[in-house]
Structure 1
Amino acid sequence: MPSVAASRPRGSTPRGIKITSNRFYKDSETIRCVGPGGYSDPPLGKEFVGFGILQIEEHYSNYTGGLPHCYIPLLSVKPGIKSMGYGKSIVDHLIAEAALNVRDFEGYVSSYLFLDVYVANEPAIRLYRDKCQFVVLNPNNPISDPDEHNEPYFVMARNVALSEKVVPAPMPS
């Protein structure tokens, strides 16, 4: 995916500029990201394993001093193939994409990546917290989701500023 920053005039705001939506497919023993978009049928011989969305928004800007931030509003692994590492691979890719956004929009976007997860989804909480270094920001005060019968959820975040440990995976050609 070409960098949006290359066409961004200095001093302009990144709000709403970059939205990445990706589908992931099993390719031999590896996971491949096919995107952006990914709303077409899976390539022949490759099994669809999940998808994730990354966007820049201001939903949790109260945690970032008012700056827009990267946010994962949706992430899913195909039912029946869970617990095989695909979720972590998708999250790792979205973390790397968020790190590129933070680099490209330095000073205009918070270095924190946010997501929210239902309190009842313990496997996802363990994945984000234990394997992906997200921290629960409201452990004693979950938020009720009025769109989902007031199901409580946690807000989680992690710093994604580029370092030697965050290396973006190349997009397939």
Structure 2
Amino acid sequence: MTLSFDYLSEETYWETENFDCGEETVNEFLKDRDEALEYQKHNSAITRLYYDSENNMIGFYTVQVSLLDIDRQSIKNLDWNKKLPRLKSSFPVIHVLYFGVDSRHARKGYGRQMMRDIFDMAFELVRNMGCNFIFAEAIKSENTLKFYTELDFREIDEDDSTLSTTRMVFKIDMPAKE
């Protein structure tokens, strides 16, 4: 179950036309040339398209480096007081803007493999620049929330029933350099 990837570009864009992860906002983003491709062209965000061994596009994600505000009470509730700088409330993150696995390829472990690549990017960023979290605004569906929770993402806000997403973070812990 080896995956390969390519970056979204003019040459690979046509491969997104049949993609369907079952979440309309995610599908629309990927297929909207004025959004996904523009982010990529201007280095505002990077989109990776993932393929199985038969070259079927099975999923994608779009990520960018960002800052995330987390209030001190949430940090305390998550028991991260000793793991984060005391005087800080904005933290560097890898922001997962969009993440989707085509419904025809769901529940085969592909999403976890793709997320592993994001973790690898995060660890590299921590080693070279510093980064505290991987951040995702997860769509409030049972499968999506279960996916992130099983990967040790934690919700950082009180549940707001007026929103269709919930803010979730994975705390990046690396051994301290000597």
Superposition TM-score, scaled by structure 1 size:
0.60
Asked whether the equivalents of residues 70 and 90 of structure 2 are also in contact (C-alpha less than 8 Å), the reply is yes
Secondary structure of the residue aligned to 1:156 is: strand
CA separation in 1, counterparts of 2:122 and 2:9? 18
Aligned length: 121
Instruction: Please name the residue that 2:3 is paired with.
Output: 31
The one of 151, 159, 165 equivalent to 2:171 is 159
1:52-91 matches, cutoff 5 A: 52-58=61-67, 60-63=68-71, 65-91=89-115
Secondary structure of the residue aligned to 1:40 is: coil
Task: Show structure 1 runs of 5+ residues with no match.
Answer: 1-28, 145-150, 164-173
Secondary structure of the residue aligned to 1:80 is: helix
Identical amino acids, percent of aligned pairs? 14
Letter aligned with residue 157 of structure 1: V
Secondary structure of the residue aligned to 1:115 is: strand
Instruction: Please name the residue that 1:96 is paired with.
Output: 120
Asked whether the equivalents of residues 143 and 154 of structure 1 are also in contact (C-alpha less than 8 Å), the reply is no
Instruction: Please name the residue that 2:21 is paired with.
Output: none
Instruction: Please name the residue that 2:11 is paired with.
Output: 40
Instruction: Please name the residue that 2:74 is paired with.
Output: none
How far did residue 39 of structure 1 move?
5.4
Instruction: Please name the residue that 1:170 is paired with.
Output: none
The one of 144, 147, 152 equivalent to 1:124 is 144
Q: How well do the aligned residues superpose, as a CA RMSD in angstroms?
A: 2.5
Asked whether the equivalents of residues 66 and 92 of structure 2 are also in contact (C-alpha less than 8 Å), the reply is yes
In terms of fraction of residues, the more helix-rich structure is 2
How far did residue 92 of structure 1 move?
1.4
Instruction: Please name the residue that 1:134 is paired with.
Output: 153
**Structure 1 runs (4+) greater than 6 angstroms displaced:** none
Letter aligned with residue 124 of structure 1: T
How far did residue 143 of structure 1 move?
6.8
